[in-house]
Amino acid sequence: MGNAHVVRDYYGTLGVAPDAGPDEIKRAYRRLARELHPDVNPDPEAQERFREVSAAYEVLSDPEKRRIVDLGGDPLGNGGGGGGGASDPFSAFGFGDIMDAFFGGQGGGRGRGPRSRVQPGADALIRMQLTLEECATGVTRDLTVDTAVLCSECSGSGCAPGSAPTMCDICNGRGEVQTVQRSFLGQVVTSRPCPNCRGFGEVIPEPCRQCGGDGRVRSRRTVGVRIPPGVADGMRVRLAGQGEVGPGGGPAGDLYVEVEEEPHELFTRDGADLHCTVQLPMTAAALGTTLPLPTLDGTEELHLEPGTQGGTVHTLRGKGMPRLRSTGRVDGRGDLMVHVDVVVPTKLDAKQTELLRQLAALRGEEQPDLAGGNRNGHGIFSRLRDSFGR
């Protein structure tokens, strides 16, 4: 006579009703697994109970095995070990499911379910060339961008009008297929995305003609952008939600506008400060002069005192670039640094040469005294000699 077999009450083991949904079954298993897992509760009865709970979740989370239970059968009736559960909850059930119970579904095992067709869109980047003056004042422009936008034909569903997705008949809507292999450790369950539906759990029998089932199409459109004063080369302005629309009509990413600052013919930039160089004739440097100096605010007068030396730097406060803070607000302005470069003539006619000789004679500078015997008692090497303490 054969051995009698008792059909186990898998619903009662998990404490759920026969009409419980997948999410309710998963929550019940997680609650019991946290309480009974051997790492948490070393009591032998708890370990036995944990095997029963693991076996019940293995059955009720699988649509095919659950259907057998609802018809009065027992899908584990021929493979059960001690206590009416699977022979080993860590092998028959899968280690990923234990991780799923303790870490909120991140273990990568059974019960993940199909992934959504609706995915967030990627960010987009466009570059804008600006002059130094435009960087100083800020600009508002309309940009032409080419990005993915929502398909107007299917509104992101990917289906042809009048049609709808259907459940994948390969994975039965789970989005993954599993294989079971036996090893000396027991059964090893591996899961991979379903090749038929690519993990979505459903297929589109009639794809939209306009987007081919992707839910989005590429389109050229115009976007207005405001560049604040004080931007610099390499800075980016973010336009939220103006990037690529995601697959399945998912939310759009952001659009970043990157500033490319064009070189200026007069000024070089160092943060909020500007620098320029004025070439001053030798005579003007000796006598002093007033020069018209172009700035971002118009022409300013630059007064140079008699005897101005080459390398002198004059600072015009507040004549630089707006100082743009990380908050997007402007906090004052930088300075304009004017560097003086005294130009010595390289070609002189006879009259100019004679006049310079007369000037040199009047100043006692016909021949430099290398030893330090001029009228001031200092030669051209005196500073060097003094630096060595002689």
Q: Is there a single domain that holds both residue 133 and residue 223?
A: yes
Domain membership of residue 354 (yes or no) is: yes
pLDDT at residue 388 is higher than 70: no
pLDDT band at 370 (very low <50, low <70, confident <90, very high): low
Q: Is residue 159 part of an annotated ligand binding site?
A: no
pLDDT tens profile 224-282: 999 999 999 999 999 999 999 999 989 999 999 999 999 999 999 999 999 999 999 99
Any idea how long the chain is? Answer: 390
What are the φ/ψ torsions at residue 13 (nearest 5 degrees)? -60, -40
Q: C-alpha angle 17/71/81, rounded to 5°?
A: 80
Identity (one letter) of the amino acid at 308?
T
User: 352: left (phi > 0), else alpha (psi -120 to 50), else beta?
Assistant: alpha
Return the DSSP state at 245. P
DSSP secondary structure, 56-82, as one string: HHHHHTSHHHHHHHHTT--TTTTTB-G
What is the spatial distance between Cα 308 and Cα 289, in angstroms, rounded to a whole number? Answer: 10
Q: What is the pLDDT of residue 100?
A: 45
Are 124 and 256 in the same domain? yes
The answer to whether the annotation marks 276 as part of a ligand binding site is no
Give CA–CA dist 112/179, Å, rounded. Answer: 16
Q: How far apart are CA 2 and CA 241, in angstroms?
A: 68
Domain check: are 49 and 72 in the same one? yes
- Is residue 237 within 8 A of residue 209, CB to CB? The reply is no
**Helix (H) or strand (E) segment spanning residue 386:** helix 382-387
pLDDT for 291-343, tens place per residue?
Answer: 999 999 999 999 999 999 999 999 999 999 999 987 778 889 999 999 999 99
226 and 285 share a domain? no
What pTM was computed for the model? 0.60
- Confidence tier at 205 by pLDDT (50, 70, 90): very high
Is 168 marked as a binding-site residue? yes
The total number of structural domains that make up the chain: 5
**What's the DSSP call for residue 233?**
T
Does 55 fall in a domain?
yes
Looking at residue 311, what DSSP letter applies? T
d(CA 320, CA 336): 5
The Cα–Cα gap between 144 and 165 comes to 35
270: domain range?
264-344
Residues 146 and 234 in one domain: yes
Residues 79 and 25 in one domain: yes
110, pLDDT greater than 90: no
Please report, for residues 116, 157, 174, the alpha-carbon distance to residue 119 in angstroms, rounded to integers and kept in the order given: 7, 12, 18
Whether residues 274 and 356 fall in one domain = no
* Averaged confidence pLDDT in the chain: 82
| E strands present in the chain | 124-130, 139-150, 166-167, 176-183, 186-193, 202-203, 216-227, 236-239, 255-261, 268-270, 273-281, 289-295, 298-304, 313-316, 322-324, 330-333, 336-343
Is 135 labelled a binding residue? no
